[in-house]
A = this chain, B = another copy of it.
Amino acid sequence: MTGRLFVVGIGPGDPELLTLKAVRVLREVPCIIVPKGREEGSSLALSIARKALSLDGKEIVEAYFPMMKTRGDADSGELDAKWDDIVHEVLTRLDTGIDAAFITIGDPAIYSTFFYLYDRLLARRPSLAIEFVPGISSVNAAAARSGLSLGLGNDRIAILPANYLENLQETLEKFDTVVLMKVNKVFDAIKDTLIRTGLAKNAVYVARAGMDDERVCKDIESVRDGDRSYFSLVIVRKR
């Protein structure tokens, strides 16, 4: 019998934002697979999980995930080899009959790189039992920390990676709420667009929502370089 794979969202950073189900699954599985963004780095997801429960006695498989270059890249051959390594690591465990949990920060459905692995796993094992355990995404956590509704009644919500700047003004016109993810590298361009469209006062900047050093800034013009973070987003709420 092949083991089952659980894909567990562990929320944005606050260990209290794991669900009861996430904690139960992590307690039950003997093997935890942990993505990390740099080969030499440590995993943020793992450090959050460890604050919520003890992982003593479990096998921890740290898998280097090439986060930034995922598709259509010049190095795709090298990347494919990396992904294949991870698929091999995961299947080796499941094939011994044990269950494993792949943990991911936030919610697996919201920009989690697990899905690059998913296609590859299913290609190798079409009948593999994979269960997703949803988590609190940074979007929901940032709204909570800002005291903002993302949508009410008939409101339309758009969630965009910040590099989609070309359509930003049009999207701001057509949607009641626009969430811009990972704004760090294009923050100044976003700020300029918001000022130009008169929406700067409707914007909230949230860095590291749910983490210890969270920052919520309701005056986007006052955000300084020192407040910036890879884990940052902007919520523009027109109402």
Contact = CB atoms under 8 A, between A and B. Distances in A.
**This chain's copy number in the assembly:** 2
Contacts of A24: 16
Given A24-B16, A159-B159, A143 B154 contact: no
B147 A154 contact: no
A140 interface: yes
Interface string A99-137: 000000001111111011010000000000010111111
B134 A17 contact: yes
A144 B132 contact: yes
Interface in A128-172: 130, 132-137, 140-141, 143-145, 147-161, 163-164, 167
A18 B164 CA distance: 33
A224 interface: no
Interface string A153-195: 1111111110110010000001100000000000000000000
A14 interface: yes
A94 interface: no
Chain A: interface size category:
35 or more
Contacts of A196: none
A75 to B, nearest CB: 15
Specify the main secondary structure of chain A where it touches its partner.
mixed
A70 interface: yes
Contact of A134 (B136, B154, B157): B136
Contact of A136 (B19, B143, B152, B154): B19
A16 B19 contact: yes
Contacts of A109: 140, 143-144, 148-151
A14 B134 CA distance: 11
Contacts of A18: 19-20
B161 A159 contact: no
A108 B134 CA distance: 16
A116 B153 CA distance: 10
A68 to B, nearest CB: 10
7 contacts: A109-B150, A111-B149, A111-B153, A115-B152, A136-B136, A151-B159, A154-B161
